Structure 1
């Protein structure tokens, strides 16, 4: 049994993970930890939203694969501003953009998904008690030059053509439509989008658009800000 220094009522933990075996393992860790109480697990974002409203957990643990655009994080924090959301990042999600967007969306505990059970438990409790915990490996990711460069100048991250194509993707256009609109070859547009996803650390088109809005590569539309309550990343001042 893992013992903690928590003297008050146990923290109810709700989890969303795309892998059933991992959910069962997480449940076993929570069940044997004094100070934590398992409230349920799922792989569906809507089930987590309902659970936060009806079960009232104090901690939610999210697999980064369940919430690749961090929309769920923002929704959960809106439902309960005091909720402590922890994100477990898979290897391919540990880009500066992905980690930074999760943090700015309201996640207070940022962990690598392969974190040892005892470390995860201490991290969850520390984040709940102090308001924040960042895995040292993710701290290193956030410290990479990519972050400051993209925040200061979108042109450092994407070329003008890449931003143009991504803006059209954000408007709902398909790659063939974009190719016709810009009088480019379909393969050229596809190549630009592949490179754009690589630079942003995005898995697909939707993820790329969400990350681009958050890091300031694409300007936020007023309607989007009002709908999602997104706060744009403000460029850092340099002398």
Structure 2
């Protein structure tokens, strides 16, 4: 029997939490283990409940989602944070991603988009559209190449296959897409991804994408329309 993905809902609006809870708990492989209405409560609930994925609002009274995300990612590295917001270019959401969130979701997302995002973040994929990725890279300043000795040495330590996986991650491919491109199983890709992130000292796939662009390993293209 598959162990359900444990989800913590964080939003200051009770009706929004209720709606997302109904959608999530209709799925056999997902379960809502708790709710929080602000950042401090989210941090406390994460420490007690150990969720796999935190669905994090960013604009909340008291401690906001940016600070909460940073604390959760630092204190519970196995927990993934998926931020949700009303606007697709919300500076708060970009701040949360910069703090360690693994994905970005709009509150008006369709049911299947929400469920896919939760599952993707749980299995280690990032949830960012090409346009959002491009804007995020602009925000963190990927204008020039950054070839520090440590970063370059880390990339040089990758095997040929790991380097291929790294570049595929930087192009925004999911584990399934990488597996298809490299003619290997998804479990093999997952293993390679873990090794790549460890060697690069990258917190997650989003961090790896930023690193690849800073090192000039990926062609810098304009955002998708």
The normalised TM-score by structure 1 is: 0.54
Q: Which residue of structure 1 lines up, in the alignment, with residue 25 of structure 2? A: 31
2:8 counterpart of 1:14:
yes
Q: Which residue of structure 2 lines up, in the alignment, with residue 169 of structure 1? A: none
Q: d(CA) in 1 for partners of 2:21 and 2:36?
A: 11
Q: Deviations over 1:101-157 (max 9, x none)?
A: 3223111121112111221101110111133222x3xx313424981795549xxxx
Q: How does 1:22-61 map to 2 (within 5 A)?
A: 22-61=16-55
SS in 2 for 1:115: coil
Q: Which residue of structure 1 lines up, in the alignment, with residue 73 of structure 2? A: 77
SS in 2 for 1:15: strand
Aligned pair count? 149
Q: CA RMSD in A?
A: 3.0
CA contact (8 A) 1:64 1:90 kept: no
Q: Which of structures 1 and 2 has the bigger CA Rg?
A: 1
Structure 1: gaps of 5 or more residues: 1-6, 154-230
CA contact (8 A) 1:109 1:124 kept: no
Q: Which residue of structure 1 lines up, in the alignment, with residue 122 of structure 2? A: 128
SS in 1 for 2:120: helix
Q: Deviations over 1:148-202 (max 9, x none)?
A: 795549xxxxxxxxxxxxxxxxxxxxxxxxxxxxxxxxxxxxxxxxxxxxxxxxx
Q: d(CA) in 1 for partners of 2:96 and 2:18?
A: 24
Q: d(CA) in 2 for partners of 1:55 and 1:132?
A: 23
Structure 2: gaps of 5 or more residues: 145-206, 217-225
Deviation above 6 Å: which 4+ runs of structure 1?
none
Q: d(CA) in 1 for partners of 2:55 and 2:77?
A: 15
Q: Which residue of structure 2 lines up, in the alignment, with residue 143 of structure 1? A: 134
Q: Deviations over 1:60-102 (max 9, x none)?
A: 10112136561111100112101011000221x624x544432
SS in 1 for 2:2: coil
Q: Which residue of structure 1 lines up, in the alignment, with residue 153 of structure 2? A: none
2:83 counterpart of 1:87:
yes
Q: How does 1:205-216 map to 2 (within 5 A)?
A: none
Q: d(CA) in 2 for partners of 1:145 and 1:71?
A: 18
Q: Which residue of structure 2 lines up, in the alignment, with residue 199 of structure 1? A: none
Q: d(CA) in 2 for partners of 1:108 and 1:14?
A: 15
Q: 1:143 to 1:31 in 2, by over 3 A?
A: same
CA contact (8 A) 1:39 1:55 kept: yes
Q: d(CA) in 1 for partners of 2:30 and 2:121?
A: 13
2:95 counterpart of 1:101:
yes
Pairwise CA distance, 1:49: 1.0
The normalised TM-score by structure 2 is: 0.57
